[in-house]
Amino acid sequence: GRSQAQTSIGGRNDGKVQRLNFDLAEMIVFRRALAGAERDQVENYLRTKFALVKQAAKQPPKPADPGHAVPLADAPEGTFALAVIPDTQRYHGPGSGRDQTGEPRNPAFASRVDWLARNLKAQRIAFVSHAGDIVDRNNRQQWALARGFMDRFHGQVPYGISVGNHDMTGGGNSSLFQEHFGAKRFADMPWYGGTYGGRPGQLPAVSGNNANSWQTFSAGGLDFVIVHMECNAPDDVLAWVDGVLSAQRKRLAIITTHMYLGGITSAGGSKPQGRMKWRKVHGKRGNTPQQIWEKCFAKHPNLFLVLCGDQSSSITHHQTSRGEHGNAVHEVLQDYPRTADDADWLRVFRFHPKERLIRVFTYSPAQKRLAARVGHAKARGDHQFELDIGQAVADHLRQRGIPTIPKR
């Protein structure tokens, strides 16, 4: 079981014959010290006597680095996922402002919904949330196309849609959204909670008829309420959200709204990031994200997650704030640049109830890879990260009278 090899180590050939016990660990160290020809000689010996090729094949594969083409691994047993579709504004064809020829089309939107629809079981997806800016030009051609895409989920998985600034007029009229995604469309779904009816004396086209809605779902022994709130929601909408979250206080609460995180004082990825202090729609009635937090979100102890889009110049940002009751609220932006038809990034929030955390993946179905570096967001942690939900889960179980177990 021993062999002799003569070598020069550290650039010195002292002529000594070194005896080595050729187990795998020793040979790895020894191999690094050998010159090219000597290394080949030893490796030939090893391949013959110890069949290292077979041993290497038994080693577990290294995890793929983000950025390399590799499908997102199936969700392990005991987990479930919330999928988030960021802004889907890259349309082509008539009325798009981009290639006016051919039929209206949106390859990036199509590939997102196709991958999600085909992977509902493999990824254990319990809910799909669209963060808004469903369309770009707010015309019927684009709305009809968007309706066709979202039809892939209808009756297959609970889902909700936040209305973005591109989905309405500057004054807040979202009548075309309501025409294609009004409350009547969801009325028979058991997971559909309801819609804001609109401000008294104001037509439902502003804020009503599913422009603000709520849904429920349960997974992994946990019960959730998720509110989809329009961009820059006015005070009357916030009062409605207060009512929903209070009535559903025994459920873990999530809110998807379109405009929330980004450049604090103006758009731009190089500027300080956080809850924005400016608005886009609803005029003076519209609330800034910071006002929305102070007037509404911070007041609800069951709220633990806020999702948003809107700011492609910021691309991605996540932070954790404390509500007035001491609850941790994770706030997460996802709006990846729409530079090409294969820029179809989506987010998978994979819940691990026993570990009491969420693993967040940013994935492109068209490119078949996890995001590594996108624009100025060059750190892996910008795109793939974890969120601790230990406190939220413990509080939720205690509210329901279920004894809590230590976080594992």
Q: Nearest 5°: phi and psi at 269?
A: -70, -20
Handedness of CA 161, 309, 355, 296 (dihedral sign): negative
Q: For residue range 81-117, what is the model confidence (pLDDT) as tens digits?
A: 999 999 999 999 988 988 888 889 999 999 999 999 9
Domain spanning 80-399: CATH 3.60.21.10: yes
As a whole number of angstroms, the distance between CA 195 and CA 212 comes to 6
As a whole number of angstroms, the distance between CA 209 and CA 231 comes to 15
Please tell me the predicted confidence (pLDDT) of residue 130: 99
Please tell me the predicted confidence (pLDDT) of residue 71: 81
Q: Is the pLDDT of residue 388 over 70?
A: yes
Q: Nearest 5°: phi and psi at 273?
A: -105, 145
Please tell me the predicted confidence (pLDDT) of residue 202: 85
As a whole number of angstroms, the distance between CA 179 and CA 162 comes to 15
Q: What is the average pLDDT score of the chain?
A: 87
Largest CA distance in the chain: 98
Please tell me the predicted confidence (pLDDT) of residue 264: 96
The domain spans of the chain are 2-58, 80-399
The amino acid at residue 246 is: S
Q: Is the pLDDT of residue 43 over 80?
A: no
286-to-166, 211, 232 alpha-carbon distances in Å = 15, 14, 5
Distance of CA 368 to the CA centre of its chain: 16
Q: Nearest CA to 5 among 42, 40, 43?
A: 42
The better pLDDT of the pair 229, 403 is held by 229
Q: For residue range 303-315, what is the model confidence (pLDDT) as tens digits?
A: 999 999 999 999 9
The better pLDDT of the pair 334, 2 is held by 334
Q: Is the pLDDT of residue 296 over 50?
A: yes
What tokens appear for 145 in the block? 């196309």
- DSSP letters, 122-154, are TTTEEEEEE-S---SS--HHHHHHHHHHHTTTT
Residue 12: exposure state from Cβ atoms within 10 A (0-12, 13-18, ≥19) = exposed
Between 238-242, 268-272, 363-367, the lowest mean confidence (pLDDT) is in: 268-272
Between 52-56, 97-101, 316-320, the lowest mean confidence (pLDDT) is in: 52-56
Q: Is the pLDDT of residue 27 over 70?
A: no
pLDDT band at 3 (very low <50, low <70, confident <90, very high): very low
Q: What percent of the chain has pLDDT over 90?
A: 72
As a whole number of angstroms, the distance between CA 147 and CA 167 comes to 13
As a whole number of angstroms, the distance between CA 307 and CA 330 comes to 8
pLDDT band at 175 (very low <50, low <70, confident <90, very high): very high
